[in-house]
Amino acid sequence: MYSAAVNAHIRELIEQVMEYRDQGQWQKLEQLFTETPYIDEEVFNKEKPGIKPAANVTYGWRRMIRDLYYSARHTLGAMNIERTGKKEVSAESEIEARYYTLKDGQRHVFKMNGVYEYQFKKVAGRWKIDSLRLKVKDQSFAPVGA
């Protein structure tokens, strides 16, 4: 596959991660990962980084979003994609996340801006996420509309 085609495909996969997360399509989301990716979102969810089964990763996201928030919205910013080997690609994407919750009977939004760092690996002819790291730039929690 040509580099431009690989870049377009990786961009699409990154968009799908956010879309599936927002829509709660957990089984589809799980299919985007290798069986045991390295996950580091400690800054966001306080879980220790490490190699985890993909099913555990998506289960943790589903549990957190269902338990704490009634809605989640992710907006992607600039992306940088680089082929690092025949079967490896690294990518970064800026992200703005908004998580909506009720607190004391009032709607609030937790906003976070950061960068996701991805490592993709070609497995059985398909590109999959083998590593995902989140670096948070800033975050806030305020009533909706404030």
Contacts of 36 (CB under 8 A, 6+ apart): 51, 52, 53, 54
> How confident is the model over 92-114, as pLDDT tens digits?
999 999 999 998 889 999 999 99
What pLDDT does residue 2 have? 54
Please work out, in degrees rounded to the nearest 5, the angle formed at the alpha carbon of residue 11 by the alpha carbons of 6 and 13: 95
Report the candidate in 45, 68, 69, 67 with the shortest Cα–Cα distance to residue 57.
Answer: 45
CATH 1.10.275.10 applies to domain 3-143: no
Q: Are 91 and 118 in contact (CB under 8 A)?
A: yes
When pLDDT is cut at 50, 70 and 90, the band that residue 68 belongs to is confident
- Residue 18 pLDDT greater than 80, yes or no: yes
Q: Domain-by-domain residue ranges, the chain?
A: 3-143
* Distance, C-alpha 14 to centroid of its chain: 8
- Enter the pTM of the model: 0.90
SS3 19: helix
